[in-house]
Amino acid sequence: MTAIDRRFTFNFMVNSTQPSLDRTFSALADPTRRALLARLGEQDGLSVSALARPFAMSLPAVMKHLDVLSDAGLITRTKTGRTVSCRLSAGPMEEAMSWLAHYQQFWSGSLDRLAALLERD
């Protein structure tokens, strides 16, 4: 079992054809990881210690969250001396947005049909 297999729990009854999309949504499912991404959205290139500062958890716990984000391709880390900095990576987010856009069209169409039906009555 690989590190990624241990970090993510999937329903193997459903055969996914998009494992990168699965990793993205799994990583985004956690509020701490979303908060870390939000901080990087406000100020890209933060060190791990600066990212961890506002969270009431240990640095190793934050590092585990960053590992999940990195494995999903949502962040990149660079090491300069003893400092590790993190940056957002847009690729997986774009893929997730494209997937969601398909369903946005579905819901928009459904709501438009509902509005038309209500207006008729």
CA distance 71 to 4: 7
Is the separation of the CB atoms in 53 and 72 below 8 Å?
Answer: no
First to last CA, the chain: 58
Sequence ranges of the domains in the chain: 3-89
pLDDT higher than threshold 90 for residue 83: yes
Please give the structure tokens belonging to residue 59.
């640095």
What number does CATH give the domain 3-89?
A: 1.10.10.10
Q: Is the predicted pLDDT of residue 117 greater than 90, yes or no?
A: no
Sheet holding 46-47, edge to edge: 46-47, 83-88, 75-80
pLDDT tens across 40-81, in order?
999 989 999 999 999 999 999 999 999 999 999 999 999 999
Predicted pLDDT at 93:
87
Mean pLDDT of the chain: 84
Tokens 């870390």 sit on residue: 36
Residue 12 dihedral angles phi and psi, to the nearest 5°? -75, -5
pTM listed for this prediction:
0.72
